[in-house]
Structure 1
Amino acid sequence: MNLNPGMADEYRRRHDQIWPELAQALRDAGVVDYRIFLDEPSNALFAVLTHEAVHGLNALPGTALMQRWWHYMHDIMPSHPDNSPVSMDLLPMFSLTPD
């Protein structure tokens, strides 16, 4: 994902005040850890999400709650016509996992 130029502070503010019902929906869907990092020179966002083996993440985009969040965020980041953020999957290159 990316941010529009100059929107880093607003993005952080909105996530610092994440809606409690959205945070709960993520947990209920099986998210156990979710972190988003910003590369300031490029405005690129990098998200790392860890979820339970059995999860309900695929259903979240179709919920009214997620649609409202995307609408709330679309003015500060590139978005598709349905307001979902423009994103791309990254190719895994290395992983160090516990033995």
Structure 2
Amino acid sequence: MIKKAIRMKLYPGMAEEYEKRHRNLWPEMVELLKAHGAKSYSIFLDKETNFLFGYLEIEDEALWNEVPKTEINQKWWDYMKDIMDTNPDHSPVTADLQQVFELR
């Protein structure tokens, strides 16, 4: 299993809307993530900074890297662009985080 962690950022005052949209995550998005090897995906919010921390476990990096190319993922990015920092293609501005500890 490959572990990945990312950081993203919400616009101020958008935490409730972000949570609402994820509570109602499109079934097509769920299917897409699972079909591309996501075994676990959690997102946490630091309310003081509006930073989001995403943690996921995937099966295959190459398969996972195909997600951004899909139509449904690009529609999701368009849907989310008004509440978070995004790039010109509407993908979230992300920073990959390095794992520095794991308790086993």
TM value normalised by structure 2 = 0.88
Give the share of equivalent positions with the same residue, in percent.
Answer: 46
The structural deviation recorded for 1:50 is: 0.8
Q: Does 1:45 align with 2:52?
A: yes
Of structures 1 and 2, the one with the larger relative CO (CA 8 A, separation 6+) is: 2
- The Cα offsets for residues 40-66 of structure 1, whole Å up to 9 and x where unpaired, read as 000000000011257621101011111
CA RMSD, Structure 1 to Structure 2 (Å): 1.2
Aligned to 1:32: 39
- The Cα offsets for residues 14-59 of structure 1, whole Å up to 9 and x where unpaired, read as 0000000110010011111100000000000000001125762110
Alignment partners' CA distance in 2, 1:48 and 1:84: 17
SS at 1:56 equivalent: helix
Q: Which runs of 5+ in 2 are unaligned?
A: 1-7
The structural deviation recorded for 1:91 is: 2.1
Q: CA contact under 8 A between 1:29 and 1:55: conserved in structure 2? A: no
TM value normalised by structure 1 = 0.93
Q: Which runs of 5+ in 1 are unaligned?
A: none
SS at 1:22 equivalent: helix
Higher strand proportion (structure 1 or 2): 2
The structural deviation recorded for 1:4 is: 0.2
Alignment partners' CA distance in 1, 2:91 and 2:63: 18
Bigger Rg, which one: 1
Between 51-60 and 27-36, the greater mean CA deviation after superposition: 51-60
Structure 1 segments of 4 or more deviating over 6 A?
none
Amino acid at match of 2:34: R
- Count, aligned residues: 97
Q: CA contact under 8 A between 1:11 and 1:76: conserved in structure 2? A: yes
